Chains A and B, each alone.
Chain A
Amino acid sequence: MIGDVLTWLNDPAHWRDTRVDKGIPTQLQTHITFTLIALAIALALALPLGLFIGHTGRLTFLVTAANALRALPTVGVLVLLTVIISPHFHGRTDLGFVIPTEIVLVFLAVPPILSNTYAGVQNVSAAARDAAAGMGMTGTQVLRKVELPCSLPLIFSGFRSATLQVIATATVASYVTLGGLGAFIYDGLQQQDFPQMIGGGVLVALLALLADLLLATIQRYAVSRGISGRFSTKSVIPADAATAQVRTAEASTV
């Protein structure tokens, strides 16, 4: 079985487009495009909203409401939206299917980003916010210079889980006849071609893994070491007594 899947993946024929079937690179590209569009929209919605809610403490019910979105059955919503939306588009355009697909994916990506951003800002130490405002930062400065950088770890983890979900779920695009890696899975299922079906699944998993690796790397550079705790090994926390000794030594030379 594993051998069959590997054979399917290694078959050069599957890596080329034919007149009837699209090959792996094309479907991969389509899959990534769907994913990126959904994530970009979700980020543009959820990040500012989460920062606003966290910073002001207002509209918190939106976080709860967004989390309720997660309970919606993806395929059901997709079919419903397609039925509603696609009749408005005629001719040689996929938009009647693309828009419902992206809406469904955005529904999935918004809740983790929104709730993590909100939680991230909420978790910034009250003392740090108080000090920031007390030293004369304006509200936006507190948000930009303190709350946002301090909540990056949670924002990243929200975005990473959104990414995984969207990559996995973007396979439904194929359910409404659009491409993407889901095509192999649905075609495989229909044709009882299990190596193809599993091969498609493996490709989705690999894409998810790579995306997460990429985001983890970005996170590593974006998050301050003061928060992630990756200090240089030399600097251990000295006791107060050590400082006291330094002082005494300094004082005595004066």
Chain B
Amino acid sequence: MIRFESITKTYPDGTVAVDSLDLEAPSGQITVLVGPSGCGKTTSLRMINRMIEPTSGRIWLDDRDTGRIPAAELRRGIGYVIQHAGLFPHRTIIDNVATVPYLLGWDKKKARTRAAELLEQVGLPAHFAKRYPAQLSGGQQQRVGVARALAADPPVMLMDEPFSAVDPVVRDQLQDEFLRLQSELGKTIVFVTHDIDEAIKLGDQVAVLRVGGRLAQLATPAELLNRPVDAFVAGFVGRDRGYRALAFSTAGRLSTREEPTVRLGAPVPAGTDDADGWLLVVNDADEPQGWLKLGESGADGEVVTDAMLHRGGTLAHQGGSLRAALDAALSSPSGRGVVVEEDGRLAGSLTASEVLALIENPLPQPEPQP
């Protein structure tokens, strides 16, 4: 856990970069600091490893006051990744990665074995070990930067716009792999970006800062998109946040309509009065299989077979996202999105307009767990 306790940073020229910031980055989670350029993100991040000393306030690393730990010692225990990787051009990739182990006095062989392990973990082929940074592309250098930060297995990682300088396709890929890595490693991460999309994609919690270094909102990505606290956050999160929000806001328990069904292998019910003629087909376990169009196969009294089913349409899960619910509704042949329970049994159905109504007026959601 990293805790900012009324941290203020005033630069010698009088610029207040961070203004009495209180913030907690929980252990094992990614906390993203996001905000417009110059809002004090980098300053905040660099105060954690004392690359910048706060003017007042304290930063706690678990129960230790960072101000009382010698700077070099503190930093060796904190992974540090920066925008332009900052690899050492005169050292081979493997020796770059082994930097902190060398500083900690590991023997060369052990340090290199560990470094080789990490290269593999961040997705670089083993023969890169003997290359120099100048022989790598920007994206590859960033991977090395991440590997180097992880080398001594620090519990905490600080990352300052690590993926901002690479092209969007590579960035996306690096972000995905970063999330995969984090799911394996469970580090306590503070991640700085100016890109709200990146913040929302990567953050377990997102701290939006406004210029002048004040915390505007600290929330989960879903909460931030659904309930920005003020016009600044709303504006920063963006006008298209409604659509973006769908992917993140959990729908809660959807109140679905009960859907008449027919079992696979049962006779097609005669004389159904369902106006639109679409009937949902389920199997013996009550799991939706597809839609039957009554009167299509001409078949009153016939047995429902696989061949008769319209299978278009994705399924939404109870407790899934509104985006999934909307997708289900929009892709369903009947126009009614099929919602299933976690175990796959049919829960009911929902039309697109009902999902949209939920987007406009979200259900009260349970408070996110800290």
Residues of A within 8 A of B (CB): 125, 127-138, 141, 145-146, 149-150, 223-227, 229, 231, 235, 237-240, 243-244, 246-247, 250
Residue of B nearest to A234 (CB): B127
A150-B89, A226-B92 are known contacts. Are A243 and B72 too (CB-CB below 8 A)?
no
Q: Which of A131, A133, A134, A150 contacts B90 (CB 8 A)?
A: A150
Q: A231 CA to B170 CA in the complex, in Å? A: 25
Q: Are A127 and B132 in contact (CB under 8 A)?
A: no
Complex interface: chain A residues within 8 A of B139 (CB)? 240, 243
Q: Are B132 and A137 in contact (CB under 8 A)?
A: no
Q: Which of B46, B83, B158 contacts A127 (CB 8 A)?
A: B83
Q: Are A246 and B135 in contact (CB under 8 A)?
A: no
Q: A244 CA to B125 CA in the complex, in Å? A: 10
- Per the CB 8 Å criterion, the residue count for chain B at the interface is 49
Query: How far does the Cβ of A104 sit from chain B's closest Cβ, in whole Å?
Result: 36
- In B62-117, the 8 Å CB interface with A consists of 71-77, 80, 82-92, 99-100, 103
Residue of B nearest to A247 (CB): B123
Q: A130 CA to B84 CA in the complex, in Å? A: 10
Q: Which of A127, A146, A235, A238 contacts B82 (CB 8 A)?
A: A127
Q: Are B86 and A239 in contact (CB under 8 A)?
A: no
Q: Which of A145, A223, A237, A244 contacts B135 (CB 8 A)?
A: A237
Q: Are B89 and A141 in contact (CB under 8 A)?
A: no
Chain A binding site: helix, strand, loop or mixed by DSSP?
helix
Residue of B nearest to A133 (CB): B51
Q: CB of B229 within 8 A of chain A? A: no
Interchain Cβ contacts within 8 Å, total number: 116
Residue of B nearest to A225 (CB): B132
Residue of A nearest to B120 (CB): A250
Q: A225 CA to B84 CA in the complex, in Å? A: 21
Q: Are A135 and B80 in contact (CB under 8 A)?
A: yes
A237-B135, A238-B137 are known contacts. Are A135 and B85 too (CB-CB below 8 A)?
no
Q: Are B51 and A130 in contact (CB under 8 A)?
A: yes
Q: CB of B210 within 8 A of chain A? A: no
Q: CB of B140 within 8 A of chain A? A: yes
A134-B51, A246-B125 are known contacts. Are A240 and B89 too (CB-CB below 8 A)?
no
Query: How far does the Cβ of A213 sit from chain B's closest Cβ, in whole Å?
Result: 24
Q: CB of B270 within 8 A of chain A? A: no
17 pairs, A vs B, C-beta closer than 8 Å: A125-B89, A128-B87, A131-B87, A132-B88, A135-B75, A135-B100, A136-B73, A136-B75, A137-B103, A146-B90, A224-B91, A226-B132, A226-B134, A235-B131, A240-B140, A240-B166, A240-B173
> Nearest 6 CB-CB pairs, A to B?
A226-B132, A131-B86, A136-B76, A127-B86, A224-B90, A136-B75
Q: Are A130 and B75 in contact (CB under 8 A)?
A: no
Q: Are A135 and B135 in contact (CB under 8 A)?
A: no
Q: Are A239 and B103 in contact (CB under 8 A)?
A: no
Residue of A nearest to B102 (CB): A145
Query: How far does the Cβ of A42 sit from chain B's closest Cβ, in whole Å?
Result: 25
Q: A192 CA to B319 CA in the complex, in Å? A: 105
Q: Which of A130, A138, A238, A246 contacts B86 (CB 8 A)?
A: A130
Complex interface: chain B residues within 8 A of A145 (CB)? 88
Q: CB of B16 within 8 A of chain A? A: no
Q: CB of B185 within 8 A of chain A? A: no
Complex interface: chain A residues within 8 A of B85 (CB)? 127, 131
Complex interface: chain A residues within 8 A of B51 (CB)? 130, 133-134
Q: A120 CA to B225 CA in the complex, in Å? A: 48
Q: CB of B133 within 8 A of chain A? A: yes
Complex interface: chain A residues within 8 A of B153 (CB)? none
Complex interface: chain A residues within 8 A of B132 (CB)? 224-226, 231
Complex interface: chain B residues within 8 A of A238 (CB)? 137, 140
Q: Are A227 and B123 in contact (CB under 8 A)?
A: no
Q: CB of B148 within 8 A of chain A? A: yes
Complex interface: chain B residues within 8 A of A129 (CB)? 86
Q: Are B91 and A229 in contact (CB under 8 A)?
A: no
Interface string of B44-73 (1 = CB under 8 A from A): 001001010000000000000000000111
